[in-house]
Amino acid sequence: MSTLVVTGASGRTGSRVAAAARAAGLTVRAASRARGFDWQDPSTWEPVLRGADAAYLVYPTDVGAPDAPEAVGGLARVAVGLGVRRLVLLSARGEEQALPTEEALAGSGAEWTAVRAAWFAQNFSEGPLLDELRTGGELVFPGGAVREPFVDVRDIADVVLAALTGGDRYVRRALEVSGPRLLTFGEAVAEVAAATGRELAYRAVSPREYGERLAGFGVSPEEVEFLVELFTSLLDGRNAHVSDGVRQVLGRAPRDFGDYAREAAAAGAWKP
């Protein structure tokens, strides 16, 4: 394999996959709207896929979104038709809504792998949870007291690259990846606070209350309903266990949340 298409190449996992692939000597072809790629426009798929050997697929806004199966399955079929048979999909651990997307990928004829990830540790420093912590000192989220083994996205990238370059070993498999220990969202915020030396708080709300907050921020009613349903199911305790995918694939322990928090704090992630 020499040329890898990376969708979401500027995102939390895509940027790390691209960096890891370049470090391994691969040519990375970033697929983004800035480069003419659009998940919602099938006419843009063939130009970015033609001549590539493999692709990493990240569907916005979520792998379980109602339109994800059609788009992912459609792109996968185009890829297979062009000879790009090795496809790795970022999926989500415990997310029932993601299964139709995985099934669409599996039905495309591709040599596929689904990497089912736990909640990203980097959601606290790069994603949607950052602004409230950095500017307001409080995270409002419907996580309750549920425990989650937050996974470092660098581990996701390493697993993705290993799956892409590992021959047939991980073909037609779903790999579940997580961090090494369970934390509540409140405990995670406390670890961020300890790393930064700031007073940070966590306030739990219901998924419906959180949806109302999102609507107030201008999120569309359709997306609000999807997210309320998603958080209601994902944050019901079903994911309160660790997975050993990182150790299975990489032969090492996953990175710890505390180490991530200290590194991100040192880089200034939560400076107001």
Classify burial at 221, counting beta carbons within 10 Å of its beta carbon; exposed 0-12, middle 13-18, buried 19 or more: exposed
CATH class as words, domain 3-119+151-178+241-254:
alpha beta
CA-nearest of 184, 137, 155 to 260 is 155
Alpha-carbon gap, residue 162 to 46, rounded angstroms? 25
Helix extents (H) in 145-184:
153-165
Q: What is the pLDDT of residue 213?
A: 86
Q: Considering the entire predicted model, what is its pTM?
A: 0.95
pLDDT score at 34: 84
Taking the chain (272 residues) in consecutive chunks of 10 residues, what is each chunk's mean pLDDT?
93 96 96 91 97 97 94 98 97 97 98 98 91 94 96 98 94 98 98 97 94 88 90 93 98 98 98 91
Beta strands in 125-263 (DSSP E): 138-141, 147-148, 173-177, 183-184, 201-204
Q: How far apart are CA 24 and CA 162, in angstroms?
A: 10
pLDDT for res 42: 97
